[in-house]
A and B are shown apart, each in its own frame.
Chain A
Amino acid sequence: MELLSHMALGAQVLFTPANFFFCFIGVLMGTLVGVLPGLGPTAAIALLLPSTFHIPPVTAIIMLAGIYYGAMYGGSTTSILVNIPGEAASVITCLDGYQMALKGRAGPALGIAAFGSFIAGTISIIGLMLVAPPLAKFALAFGPPEYFALMLLGMVVLIYLVAGSMLKALMIGVFGLLLTTIGMDSISGTQRLTFGILEFSDGVGLIPAIMGLFGVAEVIVNLEEGITRTVVTTRIRDFLPNLQDWKNSFWPILRGSVLGFFIGVLPGPAPVISAFSSSATEKKLSKYPERFGTGVIEGVAGPEAANNAATGGAFIPLFTLGIPCNSVIAVLLGAFMIYGIQPGPMMIAKYPELFWGTVMSMYLGNAMLLVLNLPLIGLWVQVLKVPYPLLFPIILLFCLVGVFSLNYSSVEVALMIGFGVFGYLARKFHYEMAPLVLALVLGPMMENNMRLSLVISQGDPMIFVTHPISAGLMAATFVLLISPCIPWIANRRKRLQKKVGE
């Protein structure tokens, strides 16, 4: 009963014209950036953030969340029609989706991707509604040592999960933590590493960093080689999958949804990992695994469901613990803080209209995407035909203006260009950016909680292992950190990465 009254509250918040409108704008923008290769949801949310400053926080969050799950829908369109994943999470959809398109079955592929995403999105929202409030109550027992241990674990899990060298991921994470120590020390009030630059006393801005790392660096990498692409020109008709398609996709969609939801809760690039694991699961369970990659509908339905479900799951750590588990959620956390809302265990109780409004908006947003995506596919194909040489100057312009309009500060724009150079070089040398972003977001919170714990224990670091919850979290962190040194686990990790790489 309580749940129903909460849902009613959410619906009440949602069905104001402004919120309804911005939900629509959010999913529309999300689909657009999902369709455009080279501009992801992280950069898009960061770009649109400054423009939300004069609308109420609930409305802004509804729109920004719409961009996130909308991008997952858009990404699948480009994967199927052009064989270019607009989103990393749609890489796996290319395999079977594009093959289906080549066989003239682009319609059902797009259709099942949209329906599967809708069903999965719905399941994950129900999960979010059921899991988040009790988890938030549990999290109330957390003190500074537990928070520090949890954040440390979150970072280490992400570092463990990223592709490539774990040492490099660890380095980039520590570098991120080092960057967050720039600015005024929150406990003693001394200026650290600011070199007399006034703008740095607030620390390194998250938005310039993200725009540089994800917006500018991405464009520059694309500039090295001109992007050329060909759109499948077959006429797209019959979006409705037939009965056999539904029969084949029913279980993959359900399995993908549950899998995606739980992977979403974990730190890391959840939509990507969940899509890969769903594809692997379906292949294993299938009666004809050898036909995967030749255009079977299960290979589209499962991963598409999984990556959408993961977006819902990813909101759980944010709403209950105030901890983001991937870079998109990290930007959203930054947005919450700009609006003066501290996400965490108290958030659902303190701002019920915000939590339930956002959850209900995700439900509506998913329905909008279904209605929007199928008839508008023609439009998205036109968008894909905009030549990249005309597109990239506009993306760069948006980055520059977006950062400048945050605080009207040239220093921040310079910082963004600097991060662009850094992100470009890091990409060239195969450093992953996700740990850096997570470190930038978590760093200040981690340091605060660590130092508060040490104040409580009067400087005794044993506080992290004498509290039972934090001791458990610390132990898990330790095991993950030393695991690459144990050959048996290191080999398993490598094999897993190879599998994902294929």
Chain B
Amino acid sequence: MPFWSGIVLTVMAVILLLGSFKREEWQALPPFFPLADSWKRVLMAFLAMVAYLFLLESLGFTLVTFFFIAFLLKTIFPQKWKRTLIAASTTAILARLIFINFLETQLPLGFLGF
């Protein structure tokens, strides 16, 4: 089954590719990103998630959540420092209370132990 689905997929991809060569609307295609700085936001969001994944074990849930939210708030649609810090710390504390204390999810606590 993997073999045959691979073959079928390849054949369809070739059809699609040939079809797009035949079309003559190259210029009509809209730009990939709707705004000039869109790519930065997309990249930052993905980077933040990857960083979250790598730092979760060592820093612990509460701390890494704080940094994650603060980073996103500050970089994607930049907020004022005061608002960023308040929102990030509220989210981190609430998330900790909900997930670890209320739902008893086994999330890593990190080297500081919280």
Interface residues of chain A, those whose CB is within 8 Å of chain B, are 50-51, 54, 165, 167-168, 170-171, 174-175, 177-178, 181, 192-193, 216, 219-220, 223-226, 388-390, 392-394, 396-397, 400-401, 404-405, 408, 410, 413-414, 417, 420-421, 424, 428, 447, 450
Contacts and interface: CB of A to CB of B under 8 A. Distances in A.
A50 B99 CA distance: 11
B2 A178 contact: yes
Contact of A393 (B35, B41, B73): B73
Contact of B95 (A168, A216, A397): A397
Instruction: Give the dominant DSSP class at B's interface.
Output: helix
Given A181-B5, A223-B76, A224-B35, A171 B12 contact: yes
Contacts of B16: 165, 167-168, 171
Contacts, number: 110
Contact of A405 (B33, B46, B91, B99): B99
23 contacts: A51-B103, A167-B12, A167-B16, A167-B19, A168-B16, A170-B12, A171-B9, A177-B5, A181-B1, A181-B2, A193-B2, A224-B35, A224-B38, A224-B42, A389-B79, A393-B68, A396-B68, A397-B65, A397-B69, A397-B91, A397-B95, A401-B95, A405-B106
Contacts of A165: 16
B28 interface: no
B52 A390 contact: no
A400 B5 contact: no
Contact of B5 (A167, A178, A223, A388): A178
Interface string B24-37: 00000000111100
Interface of B: 1-2, 5-6, 8-9, 12-13, 15-16, 19, 32-35, 38, 41-42, 45-46, 48-50, 52-53, 56-57, 61, 65, 68-69, 72-73, 76-77, 79, 87, 91, 95, 99, 103-107
Nearest to B71: A393
A390 to B, nearest CB: 6
Given A174-B5, A224-B38, A417-B50, A404 B56 contact: yes
B49 A216 contact: yes
